[in-house]
Amino acid sequence: MLGEKIAERRQQIGWTQTDLARAMGVAQSRISEFENGTKTDCNLSTARRLARVLGCSIDYLAATWDTQEDPEPAPAPPPGPRRRGRPPKRQLAAARG
């Protein structure tokens, strides 16, 4: 799946495997291995570089984002820690007027 997405995106932007390899600073054979499925493992730093160079997200390359459906909204962040003690001096001065 990763190789298919790399090839698809590379073709969308009109690049050859050699163009992509030069932009990433790797051998063209490495790009070919990814696209042909010979090499299927990819560490995070390589995935980041691929995504950055191809102008897409790692989610797109890993096919973890379904573009056919709207994503569910992100859950609300948990409330921050409750501050205890005296407020900063400038808040005290503003409150006193």
CATH number for the domain whose boundaries are 2-62: 1.10.260.40
Q: What does the domain layout of the chain look like in residue ranges?
A: 2-62
Determine if the pTM surpasses 0.75.
no
The 10s digit of each residue's pLDDT in 73-95 is: 545 555 656 666 666 666 556 66
Tell me the DSSP string of the chain. -HHHHHHHHHHHTT--HHHHHHHHTS-HHHHHHHHHTS-----HHHHHHHHHHHTS-HHHHHT-S-TTSPPPPPPPPPPPPPP-SPPPHHHHHHHH-
The 10s digit of each residue's pLDDT in 28-65 is: 999 999 999 888 788 888 889 998 889 888 888 888 86
